[in-house]
Amino acid sequence: MPVVAISARRLNELLGREYDMAELVDALEQLGTDVEDTAEQALYRCPACQAPNDKPMDEEPPKRCDFCGHAQEDPFERFASETVIRLDLLAARPDLFDVGGLSRALKGYLHLQAGLPEFTVQDGAIRVEVDPDLSNEESYRPFIACAAVTMPPLDHNSLREIMRLQENLHWGIGRDRKLASIGVYDLAAVQPPIRYTLIDPQTFGFCPLGMPGVQMTAARILQEHPKGIAYANLMQPYQRYPILLDAQSRVLSMPPIINSDETKCRLGTRRLFIDVTGISRDAVINSLNTLTSALAELGGQIENVEMHYPDRVQRTPDLTPRSIQIRYSEALKWLGIDCSPEEFVQTIRKMRLNVEHQQGDQYQVFYPPFRTDIRHEVDIFEDLAIGYGFGAIEPRLVPTMTIAQERPEERLSNLVRDAMIGLGFTEIMSLLLQSEERQFAKFRMQTDERTVIISNPKTIEQKTARTHMMTGILETLQKNRRKAVPQRLFELGNVIHVDPDAETGTREYRHLAFAIIGPEAGYAESRKILDAVMREINRRGTYAPDDHPAFCEGRCAQVNGPDGLWARLGEFHPQVLNNFGLSYPVVFAEMRLTNVI
């Protein structure tokens, strides 16, 4: 996970008390954040956008800006240093990504404040017009939420905190800008109303952040600007690109890539305009709520913005608390603790939540909108455990004790593993999820009704669950193609097939796969190895010729036998070898060992 550096001085400043480093570190760890260490950190100023960049004191000064992407040969100018606490970002708690959010949580844990933090959102006068074409497939980025925030004049610290939180939210909620991306601007340089519309990337240009006076078309930004190069893949499916323009057609940004230079935040900026755009409504709303509530902790005053969609009008942000029902008795049962209803209420309030007794052991818990991790009553139970203190929970043995033992497929796999190692093979491990091209096209195969297709994959490389184990073996041979041959590899793993009759709609099987590459590799050698493995596990089968597109005609066989025994072996087709960049013959075998599910 990414590591963020939090200024100890700034944290104490927001807490309103002076805590020593050990107290801060202990409280942060109790909240669930993983503290890496404490260190001295140097601050450097980017000459292009003036944003502060931080580096550990013992590292070389930066030559490239983390925020605008500006790069130069000479190191950036150092202007300050500070003591920081370095901690891993907790992906489930984006509200703890910055010093403002951490101070808010610590105020409860350290008994400085209790209950739900209150946020006042004033009605603003800014309007944003949303182009209906943003919902089209050729330019799809339909969701936008905005806010205006009045801050104390930005200094180096607050400017760095805002920019760092922006990038961390891109990672934590926006999935590296794919689902949502954030823009923060100097409102004094913007003339409302704002238009969220579309441009032709080949003809429309502006000066991107960090390149004042350099006009670049949108297409050129993707080819030459550091941020454009980094996120160009997000724009590849589109013919027209989203753009934010003010009333004078001044560019605010081209989401999700880069802001314009003329609307950037500067030292002394007081009025901020914030937009979040994306392809996920929840990610957009959650990003804006988290960012604006963090700015409120830094002294910001929030104003909402009127969003004019083609079919509706919406004001954002909405920081109204949400609520969930929990049961007092269930909480004590889950956590194994004994506390009175009064202690129960006080502990929940310590975690910056509000709670009201309903009837019986039912309680209504109110939580802020930036707590995107709260989905179920057990999420409140987790907060209760943190507030109660894990050290205060008495360890007890469970009422029923069992002794663990290997699952049947693991016992069989261990026996096969020993046999393969004894036969001179090296074990590999590959991924269960594959792309359709790597799983099928490269093997001259088509997807069939047995294939599990992931409807919402994280990446296109993880769209199908594997139905065979050839991909991992050949990709490993491809990566080692410059090593000496012969090479002998094997893998033990699961494959998944669609089965409408199964409870989950799929069947999972444990397979053995092995391959040999080299000038002498052939069918006879793979049969010899497969016979040895079957003898070792006391299985027998009947060999029959097989016709499979991935293998050479006449050099492929299928094995079937009692107890569901199945195997296939053969020499890969030359086209398959070319697809993986392999120069030597490869013989391969795959055998089903047992059902897993």
- CATH homologous superfamily of domain 121-316? Phenylalanyl-trna Synthetase, Chain B, domain 3 (3.50.40.10)
What number of residues does the chain have?
A: 597
Q: Does domain 3-109 have CATH number 3.30.56.10?
A: yes
The greatest distance separating any two alpha carbons of the chain, rounded to the nearest whole angstrom, comes to: 81
Which class does domain 322-392 fall in?
alpha beta
Residue 72 has a pLDDT of 86
CA dihedral of 17, 18, 24, 30, whole degrees rounded to 10 = -30
Q: Say if CB 327 and CB 377 are below 8 A apart.
A: yes
**pTM greater than the 0.75 cutoff:** no
Residue 597 has a pLDDT of 60
Q: Which CATH architecture has domain 408-595?
A: 2-Layer Sandwich (3.30)
Would you state the structure tokens that stand for residue 469, as one six-digit string?
A: 């184990």
Residue linked to tokens 């409807």: 455
Q: Are 121-316 and 408-595 equal in CATH topology?
A: no
Q: Pairing between strand 194-199 and 121-130?
A: parallel
At residue 314, the 3 state secondary structure works out as: strand
Residue 67 has a pLDDT of 67
Domain ranges in the chain? 3-109, 121-316, 322-392, 408-595
Residue 416 has a pLDDT of 95
What is the Cα–Cα distance from 284 to 243, expressed in whole angstroms? 16
**Which residues, including other chains, have CB under 8 Å from residue 124's CB and lie 6 or more apart?**
148, 303, 304, 305, 306
CA dihedral of 279, 285, 288, 294, whole degrees rounded to 10 = -140
Residue linked to tokens 């300050």: 80
Residue 140 has a pLDDT of 93
| Helical ranges in 111-236 per DSSP H | 156-172, 218-224, 226-231
Burial of 320 (0-12, 13-18, 19+ CB in 10 A): exposed
Q: Could you list the pLDDT tens digit for every one of the 597 residues in the chain? A: 578 888 899 999 999 999 999 999 999 999 888 888 888 888 888 887 777 777 887 788 888 887 667 788 888 888 878 888 888 878 889 999 999 999 999 999 999 999 999 899 999 999 999 999 999 989 999 999 999 999 999 988 888 889 889 999 999 999 999 999 999 999 999 999 999 999 999 999 999 988 888 999 999 999 999 899 999 999 988 999 999 999 999 999 999 999 999 999 988 999 999 999 999 999 999 999 999 999 999 999 999 999 999 999 999 999 999 999 999 999 999 998 888 999 999 999 999 999 999 998 899 999 999 999 999 999 999 999 999 998 888 888 878 888 888 888 999 999 999 999 999 999 999 999 988 888 999 999 988 888 988 888 877 788 899 999 999 999 999 999 989 999 999 999 999 999 988 888 899 999 999 999 999 999 999 999 999 999 999 988 999 999 999 999 999 999 998 878 899 999 999 999 999 999 999 999 999 998 876
Q: What is the DSSP string of 389-439?
A: -GGGSPP---SS-------HHHHHHHHHHHHHHHTT-EE----SEE-HHHH
Give, rounded to a whole angstrom, the gap between the first and last alpha carbons of the chain.
Answer: 32
Residue 401 has a pLDDT of 81
**Phi and psi of 28, rounded to 5°?**
-65, -40
Would you state the structure tokens that stand for residue 445, as one six-digit string?
A: 């195969």
* Three-class HEC string of 531-554: HHHHHHCCCCCEEEECCCCCEEEE
Q: Say if CB 259 and CB 206 are below 8 A apart.
A: no
At residue 235, the 3 state secondary structure works out as: coil
Q: What is the DSSP letter of 181?
A: E
**Which residues, including other chains, have CB under 8 Å from residue 509's CB and lie 6 or more apart?**
494, 495, 496, 497, 592, 593, 594, 595, 596
What is the Cα–Cα distance from 468 to 230, expressed in whole angstroms? 34
Residue 200 has a pLDDT of 95
**Phi and psi of 181, rounded to 5°?**
-140, 150
Best CA proximity match to 277, nearest among 70, 135, 374, 120: 135
Best CA proximity match to 269, nearest among 163, 129, 128: 163
